[in-house]
């Protein structure tokens, strides 16, 4: 599981954080798996750093490496990008998708950010008041919504993004 606040241990190094779920393995197996995970997320160079010494995006990748290290059958990502700035959030969303695809892991992403969901997911569930309104591909959600609610929800996000872009252009 990967949380929105990363849940890294501040008194442990990056390597020790990644190794946390590997306690049942031998030290050598732990060392190899940690090195493999840090290489996967591009952070081998910060292995001996502490969480407060690295950026938010790097902390997020450490949390991902720690979550993937024990090779879970299913990975739950709970609003994993909400603490990041917009540019880092978008870049990391695509990086996480590439990493999950490369490792063959299945993940459930919980988010309120439609752009994240559409960037990462193969399938998306739209919920309202605890009820699943539609479970479908991003393409079908946009082009064949199952209900007026789903159509309006997708459209509302698109219009808001367009308004924000227009507002930004007006300030330049």
pLDDT in tens, 51-61: 999 998 899 88
Paired tokens of 106: 């299945």
User: Is the model's pLDDT at 31 over the cut of 90?
Assistant: yes
Provide the whole-model pTM: 0.76
pLDDT, position 124:
94
Model confidence band, residue 50 (pLDDT cutoffs 50, 70, 90): very high
For 14-122, which CATH superfamily applies? Answer: P-loop containing nucleotide triphosphate hydrolases (3.40.50.300)
């Amino acid at each position: 599981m990967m949380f929105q606040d990363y849940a890294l241990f501040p008194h442990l190094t990056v390597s020790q954080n990644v190794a946390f779920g590997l306690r049942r393995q031998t030290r050598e197996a732990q060392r190899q798996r940690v090195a493999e995970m840090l290489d996967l997320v591009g952070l081998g160079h910060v292995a001996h750093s502490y969480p407060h010494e690295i950026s938010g995006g790097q902390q997020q990748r450490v949390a991902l490496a720690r979550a993937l290290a024990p090779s879970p059958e299913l990975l739950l990502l709970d609003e994993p990008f909400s603490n990041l700035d917009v540019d880092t959030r978008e870049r990391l969303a695509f990086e996480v998708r590439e990493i999950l695809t490369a490792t063959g892991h299945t993940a459930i992403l919980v988010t309120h950010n439609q752009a994240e969901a559409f960037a990462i997911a193969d399938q998306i569930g739209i919920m309202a008041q605890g009820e699943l309104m539609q479970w479908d591909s991003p393409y079908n959600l946009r082009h064949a919504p199952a209900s007026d609610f789903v159509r309006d929800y997708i459209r509302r996000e698109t219009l808001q993004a367009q308004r924000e872009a227009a507002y930004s252009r007006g300030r330049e």
